[in-house]
Amino acid sequence: MLSIEERLKEVEDRIIPGHWEGDIIIGKNNRSALGTLVECTTRTTILIPVKSREAEVVAKAFAKKVRKLPKQMKISMTYDQGREMPKNKLFTNITGVKVYFTYPRSPWERGTNENTNVLIRQFFPKGTDFNKASRYEIKKVQDLLN
């Protein structure tokens, strides 16, 4: 597991696009979730419906979206140490993107993603059942954020 301290300095400086932060927003009764990816320089946001919070399901869903990005936009990903994120090697094998992790209980180290999650909650407040949110609704919110 690569520590956030090992990331390139360019991530903090927001000089070069291609460095992403990822997370999961939990839905009603902890039974649904929405993946969020935010690029640190451009603030491009990708919302990903996930069928479950299992680490392998999340890794594959994130990888499916990231694989579609241009090569120059796939440099690194930073996650917190949530239980949905430990399949980072699977994600890296599929995408070629290095994954870094924040320190435990330090989500602010992915500040761009945390701030974007606050904006997403304006559209999908706590208690939202993401299993009932249509792909159209999710895409519409993504488009508005972008």
Domains of the chain: 2-145 (3.30.420.10)
pLDDT for the residue 14:
86
Which amino acid, 33? A
Query: For residue 130, what are its two tokens?
Result: 């993401």
Residues 6+ apart with CB under 8 A from 75: 8, 16, 18, 19, 97, 98
Q: Taking the model in full, what pTM does it have?
A: 0.92
Per-residue pLDDT of the chain (146 residues; tens, 9 = 90+): 788 888 878 888 888 999 999 999 999 999 999 999 999 999 999 999 998 989 999 999 999 999 999 999 999 999 988 877 778 899 999 999 999 999 988 888 998 999 999 999 999 999 999 999 999 999 999 999 99
SS3 (DSSP) at 35: strand
